[in-house]
Structure 1
Amino acid sequence: MLSSSHVGILFLRMMPATKKRLVVMLSWLGASPSAVSNYERLYPKNEYDIFTCYPTLKDFLWPQSGLSSALATLQEIQTIMEKGLHSSIVIHAFSIGCYYYALMLYQARKHACKFERFRTMISAQVMDSPVVGSTSEMAFGVSKMTSRRPAFMLALKSLCLVYFSLTRSYTVHYYDIMIAEFETKSPKVPSLCLASTGDPMLVPKAFQDLCNCWKSNRPLEFRIWEKSSHVEHLRFHPEEYRMLLSKVLSDSSDFSTNSAGNSDSIKSKL
């Protein structure tokens, strides 16, 4: 295991003779390494390397900090890709990690000359429990991820809304930009979106709008389960989760990236 200087941890299981795919896993707020490892194990060791990043609450509450963190993460990934050991990138993001992914996309596009390889190497996207919607809904999401006590959650949501109001030009302005980045400017590659009506952070219309937007210009699989909760879909629906992931990886295995020039052919063992 190699620890990064910022927020990423890279698990390299090297097989120099065979190019593997690099999974960039962007965790949910407060995720423990043991909880994230349940998802890392979904990817066969002989076909994938895993780079796991743990976004922080500061990355969300102060977008400028998030943008700096995202830039550092991109640089780490760039360094890994320059070794020439990987054929493509798979993004697997959860909750606030989906927002962090938008920050990465924004920075990669802003610094296109430096990070164009990152964008063109992405061959699949998995979005688990994305939080998209109004600032009120995002404030509720932050309070829900921070505490399970109703009184504290209500107080924290109110505090977040006051904070957003006072810092609108530094926060809300950027949230709107990042949501647009996520919805309309993400790579047009095979994708999977997962949500649940039992997730208090789900905004059904916003999620459906995201799916409709993505479905119009890329292969998309999506599920909205009735029985599940925030970032708990693997626990509630393990077989279907694995089946959907296997399908999107299979759909993307023949997806040719501009930078690789060749298809990355794999047979999923999920």
Structure 2
Amino acid sequence: MSPSLVAKRKVWLTYNNLRVCGSGVSMTTRPRMVGGVTAHKINKTITLYVNESAAAPQVHGQARPLLLLLPWLGSRPQGMAKYRDIYFKAGFDVLIVETKVSWFLWPRWGLEYGAQVLEILESDKFSSRPLLVHAFSIGGYTFTQLLVHMSQDQQRYQRLMQRVKGQIYDSLVYGSLDHMAVGLGKTMFPQFVGLVRQLSLLYFWMFKRHTADQFESDIAVFRNSPVMAPALFFFCQNDPLCDAEYLEQLIEHWRDRGVQVEGRKWKKSVHACHLREHPQEYLSALEHFLSSLSLTSLRAKL
């Protein structure tokens, strides 16, 4: 069997676990309810969380909004729970889309995963939902794979792009290839950061056409994203995984394109831990941003 047929078969087998009559989404396991929250496992890396214990504070005439939450690499459920709870209070259901390191190391697999996520978002279960994106660290890379598909066929994905009402990026891995290599080491093998960095850069050099060149292409897509919804960036000057100067240039570029962008920068903080390090400032910026989107009738402070 040719490599292309193997890839297509692999994608189809994954899709087959997600689809009902070609348009719906099925769950691979029975829903679990804990503390009034029901977890619907769609597949190994995608889970829908619904707060059953409280009525959603919805805007009249609008479907309940859905948060697309893309965690950092190696995140733990308890780490994501505090963000889930914030959005439950704001009236969202939460779809967590995790990232595997293999999808980053071999971008073509990440692109296939992006296509799967898009199909889920377009399924009957979610097709009427307004969307908010909140991506942490490498989760921004995963969302970029969705943007690549959107940019290649904007007519097909026009309605989906319009459903995205806001986008939040926390500790986006942005800058040179070296930043990506350092990030990989700090996330996967923090005790061997230097070695992992060198091996990663060697790997990117050996498979340049399939990795480094693709990363450059993805960054270009992100800079000129087809999604023009308002954006909020959380970042700090001492983050080794993000070049703050480059990110500020990106923010200005988006503003020049007509995107409404807010940024919250700290001189010192911790990668993907800004909520822990600066809780009041983080929640204040997030609450102000959500209020500006008018996605929910926000009744309680976050």
TM-score (norm: length of structure 2): 0.79
Task: Confirm whether residue 209 of structure 1 aligns to residue 240 of structure 2.
Answer: no
- Whichever of the two has the greater Rg, that structure is 2
Secondary structure at the aligned position of 1:44 is classed as: helix
Amino acid paired to 1:241? Y
For residues 1-270 of structure 1, what are the structure 2 equivalents within 5 Å?
A: 1-13=39-51, 19-45=63-89, 47-79=91-123, 80-82=125-127, 84=128, 86=129, 88-149=130-191, 152-216=192-256, 217-253=258-294, 264=295, 266-267=297-298, 269=300, 270=302
Secondary structure at the aligned position of 1:224 is classed as: strand
Gaps of 5+ in 1: 254-263
Secondary structure at the aligned position of 1:75 is classed as: helix
Distance in 2, matches of 1:29 and 1:55, equals 6
Q: Report how many residues are paired.
A: 255
Relative distance call for 1:268 and 1:160 in structure 2 (3 A) is: farther
* Conserved? CA contact 2:291–2:298, under 8 Å: yes
Deviations 1:18-42 (A, max 9, x none): 5211000001000011101111111
Deviations 1:127-185 (A, max 9, x none): 00001111122111111111221xx1111110001111011111111111111111211
Distance in 1, matches of 2:110 and 2:84, equals 24
Superposed displacement of residue 123, structure 1: 0.4
Gaps of 5+ in 2: 1-38
* Conserved? CA contact 1:6–1:73, under 8 Å: no
Match of 1:259 in 2: none
Distance in 2, matches of 1:128 and 1:8, equals 20
Deviations 1:205-261 (A, max 9, x none): 2111111112222221112212311001000111111111111111122xxxxxxxx
Report sequence identity in percent: 27
Distance in 1, matches of 2:108 and 2:299, equals 38
* Conserved? CA contact 2:57–2:298, under 8 Å: no
Moved more, 154-163 or 187-196: 187-196
Secondary structure at the aligned position of 1:123 is classed as: strand
